[in-house]
Amino acid sequence: MKIGLLGHGVVGSGVRKIIDDGATWEVRELAVKRILVKDESELTDPRCTLNFDEILNDPEIEIVAECMGGLEPAHTFAKKALEKGKYVVTSNKKMLATYCEDLFETAVRNGVTVHYEASCGGGIPWMAALDRTRRVDDIDSFRGIFNGTTNYILERMKKEGKDFDEMLAEAQKLGYAERDPSDDIDGFDVKYKVSLSCVKAFDTLQDINDITTFGIRNIRREDLEYCAANSLTCKLIGTGEFHGDYISAFVIPMFLKSDDVFSNIPLNFNAIESDSKTLGAAAFVGQGAGSLPTAHAVVQNLVDIWKNQDPEINDKAVRPVDNQAHTGVYYIRTAKHAAFADIIDRNVSEHAFITKKISLMQAADACAASGDEKLFIAEVA
């Protein structure tokens, strides 16, 4: 089966290597025929091209593996491939989460499918696990550490007692964080992954802008000192909950108890857990990024398509996100206490307090109304 590869960077080069190496008989049934690159400096392989139409109009190419990153031209290229009756496999969580409904409708209309194992959890077989669980069971919820960069920063801050900015700089130096780390530290990367996990776990589409999202940009040493004094650990957690006609979906730092399965996940690892009616809790831990782990997930989808064994169905229902259904107790550090007077249960420092038990939306609305762009919020387990 011939593959058209879009992008030859970190993930794309890994896909090409795995297929070219052909370690198993299944992989040897695949072949990369064309590789789309950005400029002439990347024309390092005779299969490379600067012209997407060479892939689009080649009848031998049955699958397009999109590993470009970014919204455009990735979205346009993926849609054109689907309209041509080609399967699409993507590792691009931002693009797919943003244009999921459009691409899925295009796939259904043209009798093909979009596959996205590599978009969430890197090499962890998270999407495949959700598929297998849903063959037998309804999934009630999932939660997890979906971002290795923020987990690394939080772990290092805890162990070294150093400031956020210093640990972010260290993560950037090691290649864990981008030069512009906004998607990671503001929680957007996790938001995209939560959205796609909801698609798979709950068979539903939702507007990513409705997913309540808080990151760790504003975390300070004093917040982790509160955790240490109370035997808690801070992790950035993405969560999805199924409520029938609607779902809850959100991203927020959480102060976890020491016996929580996620409290000891080290450095840049990911860990994700689903909870279903008969299987119960099932957790997956591993590298959530990197060239070969992510490429491995892409190739898994390619093999599934070749073997016609992928259960992917792109015809999904649309359900609203309602985070009133999720309630909790929250730690908030802010310079504007007065804006939160109605929800404060007790003060824990000059600038921080614990809320009464309230809905996540009530907490989010209070944070927005305060106008404090430097506040930090975490849910307390």
Structure confidence at residue 309 (pLDDT): 66
Task: Give CA–CA dist 297/137, Å, rounded.
Answer: 24
Say whether pLDDT at 353 is over 70: yes
Structure confidence at residue 358 (pLDDT): 98
Instruction: Based on the residue annotation, tell me whether 235 is a catalytic residue of this protein.
Output: no
Say whether pLDDT at 373 is over 90: yes
pLDDT band at residue 121, thresholds of 50, 70 and 90?
A: confident
Task: Give CA–CA dist 19/30, Å, rounded.
Answer: 7
**Residue 187 and residue 214 in contact, taking contact as beta carbons nearer than 8 Å:** yes
Q: What is the DSSP string of 73-86?
A: THHHHHHHHHHTT-
**Rg, the chain, Cα only:** 22
Structure confidence at residue 312 (pLDDT): 66
Give CA torsion, residues 327, 329, 330, 335, to 10 deg: 110
pLDDT band at residue 101, thresholds of 50, 70 and 90?
A: very high
Six-digit token pair at 8?
């030859």
**Residue 303 and residue 296 in contact, taking contact as beta carbons nearer than 8 Å:** no
Structure confidence at residue 122 (pLDDT): 80
More confident residue, 338 or 4: 4
- 2-123+292-316 in CATH: which number? 3.40.50.720
pLDDT above 70 coverage of the chain, percent = 99
Say whether pLDDT at 287 is over 90: no
* Average pLDDT value for residue range 79-92: 98
CATH 3.30.360.10 at 128-287, yes or no: yes
Please state the domain extents for the chain: 2-123+292-316, 128-287
- Bridge partners (DSSP) of residue 64 are 4, 88
Q: Is 212 helix (H, G, I), strand (E, B) or coil?
A: strand
Say whether pLDDT at 273 is over 70: yes
Q: Which of 80, 93, 193, 200 is catalytic?
A: 193
Task: Give CA–CA dist 318/304, Å, rounded.
Answer: 26
pLDDT band at residue 210, thresholds of 50, 70 and 90?
A: very high
pLDDT above 90 coverage of the chain, percent = 86
pLDDT band at residue 123, thresholds of 50, 70 and 90?
A: confident
Task: Give CA–CA dist 353/339, Å, rounded.
Answer: 12
pLDDT band at residue 25, thresholds of 50, 70 and 90?
A: very high
